[in-house]
Amino acid sequence: MSRPAEYSGSSPQRDRMIVMTAIAGALAMAVAMGLGRFFYTPVLPAMMSGLGLGPAEAGWIASANYVGYLLGAILAAYGWAEGIERKVALSGLVATALLLLAMGVSSNVFVLAIIRFLAGLASAFVMVFTSAIVLSHGLAANKPWVQSSHFGGVGAGITISAVMFGLIILADSGWRMAWIMAAVLAFAGLIVVSRYLPRDIVRAGPARKEPPLVWTPSLAALTIAYGIFGFGYIVTATFLVAIVRDGGGSSLFEAGVWLATGVAAAPSVAYWMPAVRRVGLANVFALGCLVEAIGVAASVLLPLPAGPIIGGVLLGATFIMVTAFGLQLGRQLATESPRRALALMTAAFGTGQILGPVVAGYLADWSGTYTWASLAAAAGLLASAAIVLIYCRPRAV
């Protein structure tokens, strides 16, 4: 990739430009993912209580978001947005803020599911197109830390939302006000992103048409493992705070558990990078699944406060990293057709995310507890780790 003129040489202006680009990317991820996608988790117990929702209904609403995200990721893979990536990303942020607001004024389960579906669609567009812009500038400037800070925005958004939710609990303002305040934060983030997000992607040249994807045993195994991981992580990512409520934890402790998740998530990609250099992507992917499985099981097997805190910290420390490094591993295993491989892996991952909350919700309704759902998720994570270790390690290390 040829470096554009603004990144040639070294100057304070260039350094400031790339820093502001990284900040814009992190804020976009914080709004679209930390708020638009994951704010449902801390608010869910209060919504279930206020609207009389059962775990199965809560699971269906959550899955609607992941259906929207999957559809958005698939649509974004086509070339319709070429040249207007910034406009689409900013439009997605506007939609995210408006849909957060809509969650605060809605009560019907079907309407809530539609809102979450549209929020998933918007978050996918923001994630795909903002990442394309920001990461291309980071690569052009030879600043690898831009990737870590960009994806760290998800954890930062979770952290900020947890603090805000704790303040709302202290003010006894209710779950509707939580959604409204999330919308206010999203609009504030949108203002900053619209100011500093670069206008264009730094392009290496005309896109090369990829040959048909060649399925190898390693790539097929990774795609299956990635889908199972999507199922395994999303159960706790959706119901962790509800698990606290079910165990008798206070509302402030619920916010504290989600805060611990966000604090662990924000730097996770950066602090796993040395392990990748040392033992390779496949081993780190498997280790992340193992660590996360321990946390998922701990969240329901250990008593409060230890169980949910451990579960939240280990979830935060792994889920962004495993998601990102899994795609990198896919690139290694499909060097001739990486975009095709990543599209299929994303579809498998999205399918797992859709199934996870629905299955977990029905298991929780059937058993009266989140234990069996969480143990099923932990088993899935262990299976994902085993598949990658057995089938993917030789070519990845």
Going by C-beta distance under 8 Å and a sequence separation of 6 or more, which residues neighbour residue 295? 236, 310, 311, 312, 313, 314, 315, 318
What are the tens digits of pLDDT across the range 110-123? 999 999 999 999 99
When mean pLDDT is compared across 81-85, 130-134, 191-195, the lowest value belongs to: 81-85
332 in the same domain as 305: yes
pLDDT, position 397: 37
Q: Using alpha carbons, list the distances in angstroms from residue 282 to 270, 286, 384.
A: 17, 6, 11
User: Do 44 and 235 meet the contact criterion of CB atoms below 8 Å apart?
Assistant: no
Structure-block tokens of residue 134? 């920001």
More confident residue, 73 or 224: 224
Confidence of residue 320 (pLDDT cuts 50, 70, 90): very high
131 in the same domain as 32: yes
280 in the same domain as 249: yes
Going by C-beta distance under 8 Å and a sequence separation of 6 or more, which residues neighbour residue 127? 29, 32, 33, 73
Residue that finishes a domain, picked among 175, 204, 233: 204
251 in the same domain as 192: no
Structure-block tokens of residue 312? 């939240």
386 in the same domain as 273: yes
**Structural domain boundaries enclosing 101:** 1-204
How many domains are there within the chain?
A: 2
pLDDT, position 207: 58
Going by C-beta distance under 8 Å and a sequence separation of 6 or more, which residues neighbour residue 339? 77, 210
When mean pLDDT is compared across 12-26, 200-214, 264-278, 316-330, the lowest value belongs to: 200-214
Residue that finishes a domain, picked among 179, 204, 229: 204
297 in the same domain as 263: yes
163 in the same domain as 77: yes
238 in the same domain as 199: no
User: Do 37 and 64 meet the contact criterion of CB atoms below 8 Å apart?
Assistant: no
Amino acid at 154: V
pLDDT, position 370: 95
171 in the same domain as 109: yes
User: Do 296 and 235 meet the contact criterion of CB atoms below 8 Å apart?
Assistant: yes
Total-model pTM: 0.90
User: Do 120 and 65 meet the contact criterion of CB atoms below 8 Å apart?
Assistant: yes
Buried (b) or exposed (e) across 359-393, using 16+ Cβ within 10 A? bbbbbbeeeeebbebbbbbbebbbbbbebbbebbb
344 in the same domain as 245: yes
* Percent above pLDDT 90 for the chain: 73
Confidence of residue 126 (pLDDT cuts 50, 70, 90): very high
Maximum C-alpha span of the chain: 63
What are the tens digits of pLDDT across the range 341-396? 888 888 899 999 999 999 999 999 999 999 999 999 999 999 999 999 999 865 43
Neighbours of 108 (CB within 10 A): 10
What are the tens digits of pLDDT across the range 11-49? 777 778 899 999 999 999 999 999 999 999 999 999 999
User: Using a CB cutoff of 8 Å and minimum separation of 24, what contacts does 258-261 make?
Assistant: 258/41, 258/42, 258/158, 258/161, 258/162, 258/165, 258/312, 259/159, 259/162, 259/163, 259/166, 260/309, 260/312, 260/313, 260/316, 261/155, 261/158, 261/162, 261/312, 261/313, 261/315, 261/316
Amino acid at 161: S
Confidence of residue 204 (pLDDT cuts 50, 70, 90): low
* Percent above pLDDT 70 for the chain: 94
User: Do 151 and 328 meet the contact criterion of CB atoms below 8 Å apart?
Assistant: no
Which CATH number covers residue 163? 1.20.1250.20
As a whole number, the mean pLDDT across the chain is 90
Residue that finishes a domain, picked among 204, 225, 256: 204
Euclidean distance between CA atoms 284 and 296, whole angstroms: 18
133 in the same domain as 281: no
76 in the same domain as 197: yes
> Does position 290 have pLDDT exceeding 70, yes or no?
yes
